[in-house]
Amino acid sequence: MDDWTFQNEVSNEVLAKENYRASTNFRWLGSSLKETEELCLTVCGIERCRSDKSYGPTVRRDYHVHFVLHGKGYLEIGGRRYAVGRGQIFATLPGMEVYYYAEPSDPWFYTWVSFSGARAGDFMEKAGITPEHPVRDCVVEPEEFLAITEKILDHHQLTIANELLRTSLLYEIMALLVSSCHGQKRTEDRYDYSQDTYVNAALEYIHHNPAQAQVTAIADYIGISRSYLTRIFQEKMHLSPKEYILNYRLSEASRLLRSTDRTVQEIAEAVGYTNPFSFSQSFKKVFGASPAHYREKIEKKRLD
Protein backbone atom coordinates (compact mmCIF):
# COMPACT_ATOMS: atom_id res chain seq x y z
CA MET A 1 0.00 0.00 0.00
CA ASP A 2 2.97 2.39 0.38
CA ASP A 3 2.93 3.05 -3.35
CA TRP A 4 -0.83 3.43 -3.40
CA THR A 5 -2.10 6.28 -5.56
CA PHE A 6 -5.58 7.62 -5.81
CA GLN A 7 -7.73 6.64 -8.73
CA ASN A 8 -9.01 9.35 -11.09
CA GLU A 9 -6.40 11.80 -9.86
CA VAL A 10 -7.27 15.36 -10.79
CA SER A 11 -6.03 18.79 -9.80
CA ASN A 12 -6.83 20.25 -6.41
CA GLU A 13 -9.58 22.39 -7.86
CA VAL A 14 -13.05 22.20 -6.36
CA LEU A 15 -15.55 20.38 -8.55
CA ALA A 16 -19.30 19.91 -8.66
CA LYS A 17 -20.36 22.97 -6.66
CA GLU A 18 -17.52 22.49 -4.18
CA ASN A 19 -18.70 19.07 -3.01
CA TYR A 20 -15.72 17.10 -4.38
CA ARG A 21 -11.95 17.62 -4.19
CA ALA A 22 -9.05 15.40 -5.19
CA SER A 23 -5.25 15.55 -5.29
CA THR A 24 -2.37 13.10 -5.11
CA ASN A 25 -2.75 12.41 -1.38
CA PHE A 26 -6.32 13.43 -0.73
CA ARG A 27 -9.86 12.80 -1.95
CA TRP A 28 -12.90 14.36 -0.31
CA LEU A 29 -16.64 14.40 -0.95
CA GLY A 30 -19.11 16.48 1.04
CA SER A 31 -22.91 16.51 1.19
CA SER A 32 -25.57 18.40 3.11
CA LEU A 33 -26.63 17.27 6.58
CA LYS A 34 -30.04 15.49 6.55
CA GLU A 35 -30.79 14.48 10.12
CA THR A 36 -34.39 13.48 9.34
CA GLU A 37 -33.33 10.54 7.16
CA GLU A 38 -32.55 7.11 8.59
CA LEU A 39 -28.93 7.29 7.44
CA CYS A 40 -27.32 10.02 5.38
CA LEU A 41 -23.76 10.48 4.11
CA THR A 42 -22.30 13.90 4.99
CA VAL A 43 -18.59 13.54 4.21
CA CYS A 44 -16.19 10.82 3.09
CA GLY A 45 -12.62 10.77 1.98
CA ILE A 46 -9.17 9.22 1.80
CA GLU A 47 -6.03 10.95 3.04
CA ARG A 48 -2.34 10.19 3.31
CA CYS A 49 -1.69 12.56 6.19
CA ARG A 50 1.24 14.92 6.53
CA SER A 51 3.36 14.71 9.66
CA ASP A 52 1.67 17.83 11.09
CA LYS A 53 -1.89 16.65 10.41
CA SER A 54 -4.33 17.46 13.23
CA TYR A 55 -8.03 18.16 13.62
CA GLY A 56 -9.75 20.10 16.40
CA PRO A 57 -10.36 20.54 19.21
CA THR A 58 -13.93 20.82 17.95
CA VAL A 59 -17.43 19.44 18.42
CA ARG A 60 -19.10 17.72 15.47
CA ARG A 61 -22.80 17.29 14.69
CA ASP A 62 -22.37 14.01 12.82
CA TYR A 63 -20.57 10.68 13.25
CA HIS A 64 -17.06 10.58 11.78
CA VAL A 65 -15.48 7.11 11.40
CA HIS A 66 -11.87 6.54 10.30
CA PHE A 67 -10.34 3.26 9.08
CA VAL A 68 -6.56 3.30 9.48
CA LEU A 69 -4.66 1.73 6.57
CA HIS A 70 -1.13 2.65 7.62
CA GLY A 71 0.71 4.76 10.14
CA LYS A 72 -0.11 5.91 13.65
CA GLY A 73 -1.85 8.74 15.44
CA TYR A 74 -3.77 9.78 18.51
CA LEU A 75 -7.40 10.49 19.38
CA GLU A 76 -8.38 12.61 22.36
CA ILE A 77 -12.06 12.35 23.27
CA GLY A 78 -14.07 12.14 26.47
CA GLY A 79 -11.04 13.03 28.56
CA ARG A 80 -9.03 10.06 27.30
CA ARG A 81 -6.18 9.65 24.82
CA TYR A 82 -6.03 6.68 22.45
CA ALA A 83 -3.12 5.53 20.30
CA VAL A 84 -4.50 4.25 16.99
CA GLY A 85 -2.70 2.39 14.20
CA ARG A 86 -3.23 0.18 11.16
CA GLY A 87 -6.19 -2.16 11.32
CA GLN A 88 -8.08 0.00 13.81
CA ILE A 89 -11.14 2.22 13.62
CA PHE A 90 -11.56 5.46 15.51
CA ALA A 91 -14.68 7.59 15.62
CA THR A 92 -15.67 11.10 16.65
CA LEU A 93 -19.22 11.32 18.00
CA PRO A 94 -21.81 14.10 17.92
CA GLY A 95 -21.72 16.55 20.80
CA MET A 96 -18.31 15.43 22.12
CA GLU A 97 -15.21 17.58 21.90
CA VAL A 98 -12.57 15.76 19.88
CA TYR A 99 -8.98 16.28 18.86
CA TYR A 100 -6.88 13.93 16.77
CA TYR A 101 -3.46 14.14 15.19
CA ALA A 102 -0.94 12.03 13.31
CA GLU A 103 2.26 10.62 14.75
CA PRO A 104 4.93 12.85 13.11
CA SER A 105 7.39 9.99 12.55
CA ASP A 106 4.76 7.68 11.00
CA PRO A 107 1.66 9.70 10.04
CA TRP A 108 -1.70 8.14 9.33
CA PHE A 109 -3.02 6.98 6.00
CA TYR A 110 -6.75 6.48 6.46
CA THR A 111 -10.14 6.53 4.82
CA TRP A 112 -13.25 7.88 6.52
CA VAL A 113 -17.00 8.32 6.28
CA SER A 114 -19.20 10.79 8.13
CA PHE A 115 -22.94 10.43 8.44
CA SER A 116 -26.03 11.42 10.35
CA GLY A 117 -29.60 10.21 10.52
CA ALA A 118 -32.32 8.98 12.85
CA ARG A 119 -30.77 5.51 13.17
CA ALA A 120 -27.09 6.44 12.95
CA GLY A 121 -26.56 6.13 16.71
CA ASP A 122 -28.28 2.75 16.87
CA PHE A 123 -26.18 1.42 13.99
CA MET A 124 -22.99 2.66 15.64
CA GLU A 125 -23.89 0.96 18.91
CA LYS A 126 -24.51 -2.28 17.02
CA ALA A 127 -21.08 -1.80 15.45
CA GLY A 128 -19.48 -1.63 18.89
CA ILE A 129 -18.64 2.08 18.72
CA THR A 130 -19.93 4.18 21.63
CA PRO A 131 -18.82 7.24 23.63
CA GLU A 132 -17.14 4.80 26.03
CA HIS A 133 -15.48 2.84 23.21
CA PRO A 134 -14.63 5.18 20.29
CA VAL A 135 -11.82 2.88 19.09
CA ARG A 136 -12.03 -0.76 17.97
CA ASP A 137 -10.23 -3.17 15.67
CA CYS A 138 -11.35 -3.34 12.04
CA VAL A 139 -11.40 -7.17 12.36
CA VAL A 140 -11.57 -7.38 8.55
CA GLU A 141 -8.78 -5.84 6.47
CA PRO A 142 -9.19 -2.03 6.41
CA GLU A 143 -8.79 -2.16 2.63
CA GLU A 144 -12.32 -3.59 2.51
CA PHE A 145 -13.63 -0.29 3.85
CA LEU A 146 -11.29 1.61 1.52
CA ALA A 147 -12.73 -0.16 -1.54
CA ILE A 148 -16.26 0.93 -0.66
CA THR A 149 -15.20 4.51 0.03
CA GLU A 150 -13.46 4.62 -3.34
CA LYS A 151 -16.71 3.61 -5.03
CA ILE A 152 -18.52 6.44 -3.26
CA LEU A 153 -15.88 8.95 -4.36
CA ASP A 154 -15.92 7.63 -7.92
CA HIS A 155 -19.64 8.51 -8.10
CA HIS A 156 -19.32 12.10 -6.88
CA GLN A 157 -21.24 13.71 -9.75
CA LEU A 158 -24.48 15.41 -8.75
CA THR A 159 -27.11 13.01 -10.07
CA ILE A 160 -30.02 11.26 -8.39
CA ALA A 161 -28.63 7.89 -9.46
CA ASN A 162 -25.27 8.66 -7.83
CA GLU A 163 -26.94 9.92 -4.67
CA LEU A 164 -28.86 6.65 -4.38
CA LEU A 165 -25.71 4.64 -5.07
CA ARG A 166 -23.70 6.57 -2.47
CA THR A 167 -26.41 5.93 0.12
CA SER A 168 -26.45 2.21 -0.68
CA LEU A 169 -22.66 2.08 -0.31
CA LEU A 170 -22.88 3.84 3.06
CA TYR A 171 -25.29 1.11 4.17
CA GLU A 172 -22.74 -1.44 2.90
CA ILE A 173 -20.08 0.13 5.11
CA MET A 174 -22.44 0.06 8.09
CA ALA A 175 -23.33 -3.57 7.41
CA LEU A 176 -19.63 -4.46 7.33
CA LEU A 177 -19.06 -2.52 10.55
CA VAL A 178 -21.90 -4.31 12.34
CA SER A 179 -21.12 -7.79 11.00
CA SER A 180 -17.45 -7.45 11.92
CA CYS A 181 -18.15 -6.17 15.43
CA HIS A 182 -15.74 -7.94 17.78
CA GLY A 183 -15.07 -10.53 15.04
CA GLN A 184 -16.95 -13.27 16.80
CA LYS A 185 -20.25 -15.11 16.67
CA ARG A 186 -23.07 -13.10 18.17
CA THR A 187 -24.06 -13.90 21.72
CA GLU A 188 -27.53 -13.69 23.15
CA ASP A 189 -27.08 -10.20 24.61
CA ARG A 190 -25.97 -8.89 21.22
CA TYR A 191 -28.83 -10.09 19.05
CA ASP A 192 -30.23 -7.22 17.02
CA TYR A 193 -33.99 -7.69 17.43
CA SER A 194 -36.56 -8.41 20.12
CA GLN A 195 -37.58 -11.92 21.16
CA ASP A 196 -41.05 -11.33 19.67
CA THR A 197 -39.49 -10.48 16.32
CA TYR A 198 -37.50 -13.72 16.25
CA VAL A 199 -40.46 -15.86 17.36
CA ASN A 200 -42.72 -14.25 14.71
CA ALA A 201 -40.05 -14.93 12.08
CA ALA A 202 -39.91 -18.58 13.19
CA LEU A 203 -43.70 -18.88 12.99
CA GLU A 204 -43.73 -17.37 9.51
CA TYR A 205 -41.07 -19.84 8.40
CA ILE A 206 -43.03 -22.81 9.80
CA HIS A 207 -46.32 -21.67 8.26
CA HIS A 208 -44.78 -21.21 4.82
CA ASN A 209 -42.52 -24.29 4.91
CA PRO A 210 -44.15 -26.96 7.10
CA ALA A 211 -42.58 -29.81 5.17
CA GLN A 212 -39.03 -28.40 5.47
CA ALA A 213 -39.35 -26.91 8.96
CA GLN A 214 -36.56 -28.16 11.24
CA VAL A 215 -35.44 -26.36 14.39
CA THR A 216 -31.81 -26.00 13.29
CA ALA A 217 -32.81 -24.79 9.82
CA ILE A 218 -35.16 -22.19 11.32
CA ALA A 219 -32.47 -20.90 13.70
CA ASP A 220 -29.96 -20.65 10.85
CA TYR A 221 -32.49 -18.87 8.65
CA ILE A 222 -33.25 -16.29 11.34
CA GLY A 223 -29.62 -15.92 12.41
CA ILE A 224 -29.75 -17.01 16.06
CA SER A 225 -28.61 -20.10 17.92
CA ARG A 226 -30.83 -23.17 18.22
CA SER A 227 -30.72 -23.01 22.03
CA TYR A 228 -31.79 -19.34 22.05
CA LEU A 229 -34.64 -20.04 19.62
CA THR A 230 -35.83 -22.96 21.74
CA ARG A 231 -35.79 -20.88 24.93
CA ILE A 232 -37.61 -17.83 23.63
CA PHE A 233 -40.11 -19.96 21.68
CA GLN A 234 -40.93 -21.88 24.85
CA GLU A 235 -41.38 -18.60 26.74
CA LYS A 236 -43.65 -17.01 24.15
CA MET A 237 -45.60 -20.01 22.79
CA HIS A 238 -45.45 -22.35 25.83
CA LEU A 239 -44.31 -25.08 23.45
CA SER A 240 -40.93 -26.09 22.12
CA PRO A 241 -40.36 -25.34 18.41
CA LYS A 242 -40.37 -29.09 17.71
CA GLU A 243 -43.75 -29.53 19.42
CA TYR A 244 -45.20 -26.55 17.56
CA ILE A 245 -43.97 -27.87 14.20
CA LEU A 246 -45.59 -31.26 14.86
CA ASN A 247 -48.88 -29.65 15.88
CA TYR A 248 -48.89 -27.31 12.91
CA ARG A 249 -48.14 -30.11 10.44
CA LEU A 250 -51.06 -32.16 11.73
CA SER A 251 -53.34 -29.13 11.79
CA GLU A 252 -52.41 -28.37 8.18
CA ALA A 253 -52.98 -32.03 7.28
CA SER A 254 -56.44 -31.82 8.85
CA ARG A 255 -57.23 -28.74 6.75
CA LEU A 256 -56.06 -30.43 3.55
CA LEU A 257 -58.11 -33.56 4.29
CA ARG A 258 -61.22 -31.41 4.77
CA SER A 259 -60.77 -29.01 1.87
CA THR A 260 -59.01 -30.97 -0.91
CA ASP A 261 -59.26 -34.31 -2.70
CA ARG A 262 -55.52 -34.95 -2.49
CA THR A 263 -54.54 -38.46 -1.44
CA VAL A 264 -53.43 -39.23 2.10
CA GLN A 265 -49.90 -39.89 0.86
CA GLU A 266 -49.79 -36.57 -1.01
CA ILE A 267 -50.95 -34.74 2.11
CA ALA A 268 -48.44 -36.58 4.28
CA GLU A 269 -45.61 -35.47 1.99
CA ALA A 270 -46.97 -31.91 1.82
CA VAL A 271 -46.69 -31.52 5.60
CA GLY A 272 -43.30 -33.19 5.95
CA TYR A 273 -43.91 -36.91 6.46
CA THR A 274 -42.03 -39.28 4.17
CA ASN A 275 -43.54 -42.36 5.86
CA PRO A 276 -47.36 -42.61 5.47
CA PHE A 277 -47.59 -45.07 8.37
CA SER A 278 -45.81 -42.66 10.72
CA PHE A 279 -48.09 -39.87 9.51
CA SER A 280 -51.18 -41.98 10.16
CA GLN A 281 -50.03 -42.85 13.68
CA SER A 282 -49.28 -39.24 14.59
CA PHE A 283 -52.55 -38.03 13.10
CA LYS A 284 -54.62 -40.63 14.95
CA LYS A 285 -52.96 -39.76 18.25
CA VAL A 286 -54.17 -36.14 17.92
CA PHE A 287 -57.50 -36.48 16.10
CA GLY A 288 -58.62 -39.92 17.30
CA ALA A 289 -58.89 -41.39 13.81
CA SER A 290 -56.63 -42.28 10.92
CA PRO A 291 -56.46 -39.71 8.11
CA ALA A 292 -58.69 -41.88 5.87
CA HIS A 293 -61.32 -42.39 8.58
CA TYR A 294 -61.13 -38.70 9.53
CA ARG A 295 -61.95 -37.73 5.94
CA GLU A 296 -64.80 -40.24 5.82
CA LYS A 297 -66.31 -38.69 8.97
CA ILE A 298 -66.06 -35.22 7.49
CA GLU A 299 -67.74 -36.34 4.27
CA LYS A 300 -70.52 -38.09 6.21
CA LYS A 301 -71.25 -34.94 8.22
CA ARG A 302 -71.55 -32.94 5.02
CA LEU A 303 -74.08 -35.37 3.60
CA ASP A 304 -76.23 -35.51 6.77
Collapsing DSSP to helix, strand or coil, 38 comes out as: coil
Q: How many CA atoms lie within 13 A of 243 on its CB side?
A: 8
Q: How far is CA 178 from CA 86, 151, 213, in A?
A: 19, 20, 29
Collapsing DSSP to helix, strand or coil, 135 comes out as: strand
Q: List pLDDT tens digits, range 244-273.
A: 999 999 999 999 999 999 999 999 999 999
Please determine, for residue 188, whether its predicted confidence score (pLDDT) is greater than 70. Answer: no
CA-to-CA distance for 304 and 37, rounded, in angstroms? Answer: 63
Walk me through the domains of the chain, giving residue ranges and CATH numbers.
20-183 (2.60.120.280), 187-304 (1.10.10.60)
Query: Which residues, 6 or more positions from 278, have their beta carbon under 8 angstroms from its beta carbon?
Result: none
- Rounded to 10 deg, the angle between the 276-287 and 291-303 helix axes is 50
What pLDDT score was predicted for residue 34?
63
What pLDDT score was predicted for residue 141?
92
- Rounded to 10 deg, the angle between the 226-237 and 195-208 helix axes is 90
The partner residues of 116 in beta bridges, in order of sequence, read: 40
What's at 3, amino acid-wise?
Answer: D
Query: Which residues, 6 or more positions from 191, have their beta carbon under 8 angstroms from its beta carbon?
Result: 198, 224, 228
Q: Which of 44-48, 131-135, 191-195 has the lowest mean pLDDT?
A: 191-195
CA-to-CA distance for 135 and 127, rounded, in angstroms? Answer: 11
CB atoms within 10 A of CB 297: 14
What pLDDT score was predicted for residue 8?
35
* Its pTM surpasses 0.75: no
What's at 199, amino acid-wise?
Answer: V
CA-to-CA distance for 235 and 196, rounded, in angstroms? Answer: 10
What pLDDT score was predicted for residue 167?
92
Please determine, for residue 109, whether its predicted confidence score (pLDDT) is greater than 90. Answer: yes
Q: List pLDDT tens digits, range 36-84.
A: 689 999 999 999 999 999 999 999 999 999 999 999 999 999 899 999 9
CA-to-CA distance for 189 and 170, rounded, in angstroms? Answer: 26
What pLDDT score was predicted for residue 45?
94
Sheet order of strands, 97-102 included:
54-59, 97-102, 72-77, 80-85
CA-to-CA distance for 221 and 217, rounded, in angstroms? Answer: 6
pLDDT, averaged across the chain = 87
- Give the rounded percent of residues in the chain with a pLDDT score beyond 90: 68
Please determine, for residue 11, whether its predicted confidence score (pLDDT) is greater than 60. Answer: no
Q: How far is CA 172 from CA 40, 130, 210, 212, 258, in A?
A: 13, 20, 34, 32, 49
Query: Which residues, 6 or more positions from 23, have their beta carbon under 8 angstroms from its beta carbon?
Result: 6, 9, 10, 11, 12
Mean pLDDT of the region 147-156: 93
Q: Which of 53-57, 164-168, 190-194 has the lowest mean pLDDT?
A: 190-194
What pLDDT score was predicted for residue 269?
93
Q: Are 97 and 58 in contact (CB under 8 A)?
A: yes
Which of the four pLDDT bands, split at 50, 70 and 90, describes residue 202? very high
What pLDDT score was predicted for residue 13?
36
- Give the rounded percent of residues in the chain with a pLDDT score beyond 70: 89
